[in-house]
Structure 1
Amino acid sequence: MASIGTPSERAAAATGRGVKFQEAGPGRFISDPAALGLAGFALSTMTLSFINAGILPQADAPVVLGLALAYGGVVQLLAGMWAFVKNDTFAAVALSSYGAFWISFYFLQHTFIQQIPAGDRSGALALYLLCWGVFSLYMWIASFRVSIAINAVFITLWPAYVLLGLGKAIDSTPLFHIGGIFGIATAAAAWYASAAIVLNKTFVRDLLPLGELRSAQQDLATRP
């Protein structure tokens, strides 16, 4: 995310230009889709996490559904597809997956949750959240090759899923609320990363540092 893929992408980011790909057709440039995907993820996560943390009542949950489907879901999924075109594996997998998460969340809350027996809902939701925690954990490990800003997103995201899942599993409201607080931190980090990409590329200077980390491609390039 944030010009993650190849050294050529990083060079293009430094000049504020998109990355030109032969597959995209002559004269076309692909801008960095990570800023859009991160923004959709951040806004949807922030609104839901305020409810999960107990700051807003559960009765306000329907306000999240539109965001979940449109901005966190469809828009983020599209950003993930554009990241595939950009040959940015990390951003493509992350944005596409969390876009799918928000779409599944919408349909789960809007339709399918009522089909689960009331006594089994907590366990089913716990499994759903914990599995997303596993995915987020290995994405966090991969983020050590990306940037400090993206690492900050994932170092708070996987505990958020785990705490929310455990809160559902053992019916612990305090644990669930702590998971919501981690979600707020995740959203704040994602918003920062999105803002940094937009501002840095718009002003063609590092107004907000991302703390880019050494990539595997750079390691290979410097080997004797």
Structure 2
Amino acid sequence: MSTEQNPAVEKDVGPAAAPAAPNAATAPNSNAPLSAEEHHSRFGYGPLSHVNTKEAVLRPFGGEFQPGLYKSVEARKFANPAPLGLSAFALTTFVLSCINMGARDITAPNIVVALAFGYGGLVQLLAGMWEMAVGNTFGATALSSYGGFWLAFAIVLTPGGFNIEAGLIDTGGTSMFYNSFGLFLMGWFIFTTILLFCTLRSTVAFFLLFLFLDLAFLLLGVGYLERDSHGMPNPPVIKAGGFFGLLAAFAAWYNALAGIADSSNSFFVIPVAHFPWSPTGRARREKTERETV
């Protein structure tokens, strides 16, 4: 079926290419530019095809893990991968944050290793790759990176597996491991701060997710670098980091619910509170001003 017969196809992959000139070069190894037909056949279809951000734009919305305007996944016949990645991040963060706060007198985070490998790591990494497929650069970067964070976290803490913790302790004592782990967390604080700047034009729910996570990384990093008088991670600072980690987990679940709930499964829409300076906020304000004139 041609794109003239099916406008939805044209909307998804772009307008149909003009026929190639009869004498257009077709040698695969030549340096001649591709004809319009060759370019369309190679790059004009499939999940990784070019996304034209000027058509079918979607306003910033935390439920789709996108702080800027981009082409909605609805016209591309793909499911929204953001709620899956957000849920994987939320559950793993929730368990670790509870342990950091000393819940049920649990002092060792070994139970998180399984979640960090299977759910927060692998599943979130896969969700990030599908964000890449739907053309969401921010979502792909964030979800894939935090999936990598949980995999790295699990590798460090795997008992008897990679011997990273034991090797550092054997080399320079527990202080070397705590300093190394503190630098590890501070690096993720810097990365999360970069992402936080990209959410300032989105929604309050989306912004709060990265704000809470940023504070959690900062406090946990400081807690490992600035230890108490016994040379252990500073308990009050670690607990404070765990508290903000809990807030980040619930914020991630909230954004995931906002992305899952729609007219097919819910009687209500999850409010995400658009910033006044966001595209949606400006549109609502302009509409109100026109109505009051």
Task: Please give the per-residue CA displacement for 1:60-95, whole angstroms capped at 9, x wherever unaligned.
Answer: 522211111111000000000000111111111110
Counterpart of 2:71 in structure 1 is: 8
Of 159, 177, 185, the residue aligned with 2:215 is 159
1:74 has 2:126 as partner:
no
Larger radius of gyration: 2
TM, length-normalised to structure 2: 0.64
Counterpart of 1:146 in structure 2 is: 202
Report which stretch shifted further, 51-60 or 93-102.
51-60
TM-superposed CA distance for 1:157, in Å, is 0.6
Contact 2:63 2:260 (8 Å CA) reproduced: no
1:133 has 2:189 as partner:
yes
Residues 191 and 168 of structure 1, relative CA distance in 2, 3 Å threshold: same
Segments of 5+ residues of structure 2 without an aligned counterpart are 1-61, 228-233, 284-293
Q: For 1:132-211, list aligned pairs within 5 A.
A: 132-171=188-227, 172-200=234-262, 202-203=264-265, 207-211=269-273
Counterpart of 2:102 in structure 1 is: 54
Aligned-pair identity (%) = 33
- For residue 116 of structure 1, what is the amino acid of its counterpart? L
d(CA) in 1 for partners of 2:152, 2:258:
29
Query: Superposition RMSD on alpha carbons, in Å?
Result: 2.2
Contact 1:19 1:86 (8 Å CA) reproduced: no
Greater relative contact order structure (CA < 8 Å, 6+ sep): 1
Of 156, 160, 165, the residue aligned with 1:113 is 165
d(CA) in 1 for partners of 2:203, 2:267:
17
Contact 1:166 1:175 (8 Å CA) reproduced: yes
Counterpart of 1:25 in structure 2 is: none
Residues 55 and 207 of structure 1, relative CA distance in 2, 3 Å threshold: same
d(CA) in 2 for partners of 1:159, 1:33:
26
d(CA) in 1 for partners of 2:94, 2:185:
17
Q: Larger helix proportion, structure 1 or 2?
A: 1
Contact 2:70 2:136 (8 Å CA) reproduced: no
Residues 205 and 121 of structure 1, relative CA distance in 2, 3 Å threshold: same
Counterpart of 2:132 in structure 1 is: 84
Segments of 5+ residues of structure 1 without an aligned counterpart are 13-17, 21-28, 220-224
Residues 88 and 175 of structure 1, relative CA distance in 2, 3 Å threshold: same
Report which stretch shifted further, 84-93 or 35-44.
84-93
d(CA) in 2 for partners of 1:104, 1:202:
38
Aligned residues: 203
Task: Please give the per-residue CA displacement for 1:93-128, whole angstroms capped at 9, x wherever unaligned.
Answer: 110000000000000101322221233011001100
d(CA) in 2 for partners of 1:210, 1:200:
14
